[in-house]
Amino acid sequence: MKINKKKFIYLISPNKILNSFYKNLKLVLKSGKVSFFQLRLKSYSRNKKIIIGKKVKNICKKNKVKLIINDDPLLALKLDADGCHLGQKDMNIKIAKEILGKKIIGITCHNSMDLAKKAVKAKADYIAFGAFNQSKTKKTKYVASVKILNKVKKFTKTPTVAIGGINDVNYKNLLLNNANFLAISSYIWKNKNYKPLQAIEKLK
């Protein structure tokens, strides 16, 4: 998987998709800073996810951003997305690979070197660590420090994604400590000071 240093953002969808979302998504993806967009819709029906997914896929495609579906390899297959992200309680990566073939599969590894080693052995395309900061998107069960990013880089070239409360104040430290991509959600979608495009433009 190629790493473009200018496109270091792994953008995650807001929990609720409002009408203004699509317009803002177009603006944010046009910024040229986003490599991945993950559709993470916990509270929507499958049919609604498919409808939203098709619209999002078109926007991603036009802006050369890879669409990743959270938790659900079958939905990723249905939408012909670029890949799927799996948590530790989701489908086994080997089964997901059988479903998705050569598509991207990323794995949540929390703050664990053991989980990272297992994911690398199973040929995950990227490994995600966090939370590095308190997050507004979901409750923080696991806390990670930059030490794990530096340790991981010593044993694998698999790209790393840092997640958890990342904003314009703390993002640079993660990039300086070997995070290849930064997973960001609430800083873009729930920012009280900046609109989504203004928020992303502060990440340089």
Q: Please state, for a pLDDT cut of 90, what percent of the chain lies above it.
A: 91
Q: Is residue 156 part of a domain?
A: yes
Cα dist from 144 to 111, 141, 149, 155, 189, whole Å: 5, 10, 9, 18, 23
**Any residues with CB less than 8 A from the CB of 8 and at least 6 apart, and which?**
33, 35, 175, 180, 181, 182, 203
Report the distance separating Cα 194 and Cα 69, nearest Å: 27
Domain count, the chain: 1
Q: Nearest 5°: phi and psi at 155? A: -115, -5
Q: Tell me which residue range forms the domain holding 95.
A: 9-201
User: What is the CATH classification number for the domain harbouring 118?
Assistant: 3.20.20.70
Report the distance separating Cα 135 and Cα 117, nearest Å: 25
Residue 21 corresponds to which tokens in the numbers above? 């979302």
Burial (CB count <10 Å: 0-12, 13-18, 19+), residue 201: middle
Q: How many CA atoms lie within 13 A of 5 on its CB side?
A: 5
Q: Is residue 3 part of a domain?
A: no
Q: Is residue 131 part of a domain?
A: yes
Q: Is residue 38 part of a domain?
A: yes
Q: Is residue 179 part of a domain?
A: yes
pLDDT in tens, 101-155: 999 999 999 999 999 999 999 999 999 999 999 876 667 788 899 999 999 999 9
Report the distance separating Cα 17 and Cα 160, nearest Å: 27
pLDDT in tens, 39-68: 999 999 999 999 999 999 999 999 999 999
Q: Is residue 63 part of a domain?
A: yes
More confident residue, 138 or 184: 184
More confident residue, 135 or 28: 28
Q: What is the mean pLDDT of the chain?
A: 95
161 has pLDDT over 90:
yes
pLDDT in tens, 72-85: 999 999 999 999 99
| 48 and 21 Cβ atoms separated by less than 8 Å | no
Q: Is residue 165 part of a domain?
A: yes
Q: Is residue 43 part of a domain?
A: yes
